[in-house]
Amino acid sequence: MSRKQSNIVTLAQHEQPLDTGINNSLPDARKTGKYLAKFIEEQMVEGIDYGKVTGYSKPTLLKPGAEKICQHLKLTIQYEVNHRFEEWKQGIFHYEVRVTLIPINSTQIVAEGLGTSNTKEEQYNEQSPYTIVNTVLKMAKKRALVDAVLNVSATSGIFTQDIEDMPKSVDLKGGDGTITKRQLKKIHELVKDQRMNPDTAREMMRLMFGVDHSTKLSKTQASTFIQDLLLLSESRR
């Protein structure tokens, strides 16, 4: 096996796809967009499959939602690391990942996506680059997947390209003191009760407040996040 081949990871080849009524050939973008809008409304869950914040023009597609759309369209996902730069002495790591989407039982590539990430991004400024190498690689994979899914599913009019494209709302910044222990406990309880993936919760916080951990929230931000989690919980009952 070549080095290039060894970098490819295929997902969902063993999974039973959902019946969407689409053949394994490349679907018509307009038709795909119409029924996917209905699928998103009926089957995808806010806060898990996509993030939505008041004041933003479009929600952002999250990794679980991108994977759900691929399953709905009967597409397998292939990841390939196109380029990697790893400077261990200086602590600089950069990855470029390519995602290809292929219909199950076919070899035809119907969409591609590219995603990059590196340890020099602002969100990683306060972290040791040596402890987040895997996180940076996963972020590049996530961005490539979202890019590919938006390309094939004609949903770019529904979702933003990525959360970095969304401007931060100035009225959600901190400045009123750090989160309290009681607020931390409540957030953890709500995330656990909803069986939410911790990575999804962190991505929501990064989307809403520009932080990657609940301990970095201010009191006001924590209160807003708790209210959003409570509303999400109510909507799922």
Mapping DSSP onto H, E and C, the string for the chain reads: CCHHHHCCEEECCCCCCCCCCCCCCCCCHHHHHHHHHHHHHHHCCECCCEECCCCCCCCEECHHHHHHHHHHCCEEEEEEEEEEEEECCCCEEEEEEEEEEEECCCCCCCEEEEEEEECCCHHHCCCCHHHCHHHHHHHHHHHHHHHHHHHHHCCCCCCECCHHHCCCCHHHCCCCCECCHHHHHHHHHHHHHCCCCHHHHHHHHHHHHCCCCHHHCEHHHHHHHHHHHHHHHHHCC
The answer to whether residues 148 and 112 touch, using CB atoms and an 8 Å cutoff, is yes
The DSSP bridge pattern shows strands 111-118 and 60-61 to be: unpaired
Residue 203 pLDDT > 50:
yes
pLDDT band at 232 (very low <50, low <70, confident <90, very high): low
Exposed (0-12), middle (13-18) or buried (19+): which is 117, by Cβ within 10 Å?
buried
* pLDDT tens-digit map of 149-169: 988 876 666 776 555 444 444
Q: Give the separation between CA 94 and CA 96, rounded to whole angstroms.
A: 7
- How confident is the model at residue 36, as a pLDDT? 77
Longest Cα pair distance anywhere in the chain, in angstroms? 56
pLDDT digits (tens, 9 = 90+) for 17-64: 333 334 434 445 556 666 777 888 888 887 788 876 555 567 788 888
Phi, psi of 90 (to 5 degrees): -95, -10
